[in-house]
Amino acid sequence: MGTTAKLDSKVNATSGLPALLGGEPVTRKEFPSYNTIDENEKREVMGVLDSGILSAYLGSPGPAFFGGPKVQKLENAWARYFGVKHAVSMNSATSALCAAVAACRIGPGNEVITSPLTMTATATAVLVNGAVPVFADVDPRTMNLDPASVARRITKRTKAICVIHLAGHPADMDPIMELAGAHQLFVLEDTAQSPGALYKGRRAGCIGRIGVFSLNCHKTIQSGEGGIAVTNDDDLALRLRLVRNHGEACLDGFGMSSADNLIGFNLRMTELEAAVAYHQLGKLEKLNAWRVRLADFLTRRIKEEFDCLRPPYVAPDCTHVYYFYHMQYDEQKGGLPIDLFSHAVQAEGIPLLAGWGKPLYYLPIYRQRSARGQSGWPFRPPWYHGQVSYEKGICPHAEAVEHTSVYLETLVRWPNTEEDMELVVRAIRKVLDGRRALLESRAAQTECSRA
Determine if the peptide bond prior to 415 is cis (ω within 30°). Answer: yes
In sequence order, what are the residues at sequence separation of 6 or more whose Cβ sits closer than 8 angstroms to the Cβ of residue 346?
352, 353
Question: Of 135-139, 234-238, 241-245, 369-373, where does mean pLDDT reach its minimum?
Answer: 369-373
- What is the percent of the chain where pLDDT is above 70? 90
CB neighbour class for 175 (10 Å; exposed up to 12, middle 13-18, buried from 19): middle
Order of all β-strands in the sheet with 132-135: 86-90, 227-231, 210-214, 186-190, 158-164, 111-114, 132-135
Q: Is the pLDDT of residue 15 over 80?
A: no
Sequence letter at residue 148: A
pLDDT tens figures, 300-334: 999 999 999 999 999 999 999 999 999 999 999 99
d(CA 164, CA 168) in angstroms, rounded, equals 10
Of 326, 352, 356, 358, whose CA–CA distance to 340 is shortest? 352
d(CA 284, CA 286) in angstroms, rounded, equals 6
Q: What is the pLDDT of residue 394?
A: 95
The DSSP output letter for 318 is: B
d(CA 59, CA 67) in angstroms, rounded, equals 10
Q: Is the pLDDT of residue 444 over 60?
A: no
Q: What is the pLDDT of residue 257?
A: 64
- Overall pTM > 0.85: yes
d(CA 329, CA 238) in angstroms, rounded, equals 46
CB neighbour class for 165 (10 Å; exposed up to 12, middle 13-18, buried from 19): buried
Question: Do 309 and 329 touch, CB atoms closer than 8 A?
Answer: yes
d(CA 426, CA 310) in angstroms, rounded, equals 17
In sequence order, what are the residues at sequence separation of 6 or more whose Cβ sits closer than 8 angstroms to the Cβ of residue 433?
7, 10, 11, 12, 13, 14, 15
State which H helix or E strand residue 392 sits in: none
Q: What is the pLDDT of residue 386?
A: 53
Q: What is the pLDDT of residue 382?
A: 47
Q: What is the pLDDT of residue 10?
A: 42
372 vs 40, which has greater pLDDT? 40
Sequence letter at residue 77: A
**What would the mean pLDDT of 416-444 be, rounded to a whole number?**
93
The 10 Å CB-count burial string (b at 16+, else e) for 312-336 is bbbbeebbbbbbbbbbbbbeebbbb
Which stretches does DSSP call E strand in 265-380?
Answer: 309-310, 325-329, 352-354
d(CA 46, CA 42) in angstroms, rounded, equals 6
Of 110, 111, 118, whose CA–CA distance to 138 is shortest? 118
Rg (CA), the chain: 24
Which stretches does DSSP call E strand in 104-177?
Answer: 111-114, 132-135, 158-164
Which phi-psi region, left, alpha or beta, contains residue 409 (left: φ > 0; alpha: ψ -120 to 50)?
Answer: alpha
Q: What is the pLDDT of residue 150?
A: 98
At residue 138, the 3 state secondary structure works out as: strand
At residue 234, the 3 state secondary structure works out as: helix
Q: What is the pLDDT of residue 383?
A: 44
Domains and CATH numbers, the chain: 39-283 (3.40.640.10), 284-357+400-443 (3.90.1150.10)
Of 351, 437, 425, 429, whose CA–CA distance to 20 is shortest? 437
Confidence of residue 374 (pLDDT cuts 50, 70, 90): very low
Q: Is the pLDDT of residue 376 over 50?
A: no
Q: What is the pLDDT of residue 324?
A: 94
pLDDT tens figures, 52-106: 999 999 888 888 889 999 999 999 999 999 999 999 999 999 999 999 999 999 9
Q: What is the pLDDT of residue 253?
A: 74
